[in-house]
Amino acid sequence: MRALLFAAAAVLEIGGCYLVWQALRLGQAWYWAPALVLLGLFAWCLALTGTDSAGRIFAVYGGIYIAASVIFMVTIERVRPDLWDIAGVLICLLGAAVIYFGPRGA
């Protein structure tokens, strides 16, 4: 369930941010309303993941967001990732995994 919430949050955040980017680039003011809705839904999904620390979830989500952004780059923008893009994603996902799966003690 948590993985689905992270994935939904990534799609919603990237969609909302892309609409803001497009609104500024194209001067389309009507993009702002759906952008704000998507960004609000993103925050709601991320809040539903639940944890003892919002900061920890934000850190884990950061790795997921970076991977999703490169997927967006490939699928929507049709830009081929280079070695540095792939290496960066793997490093970020490794860091997110260390934070997410690390043992928690007193």
What integer pLDDT is reported at residue 106 of this predicted model? 58
| Alpha helices for 1-106 (secondary structure H) | 2-26, 32-48, 54-75, 83-101
Residue 51, helix vs strand vs coil: coil
Taking residue 61's Cβ as centre, other Cβ atoms within 10 Å add up to 22
- Listed by start position, the domains of the chain span 2-101
Residue-wise pLDDT for 14-39, tens only, equals: 999 999 999 999 998 999 999 999 99
Q: Which of 84-91's residues contact partners 24+ apart within 8 Å by CB, and which partners?
A: none
> In tens digits, what is the pLDDT along the chain, a chain of 106 residues?
888 999 999 999 999 999 999 999 999 899 999 999 999 999 999 999 876 788 889 999 999 999 999 999 999 999 999 999 999 999 999 999 999 999 987 5
Q: Counting beta carbons within 10 angstroms of the beta carbon of residue 72, is it exposed (0 to 12), middle (13 to 18) or buried (19 or more)?
A: middle
| Residue (of 76, 79, 74, 42) closest to 61 by Cα position | 42
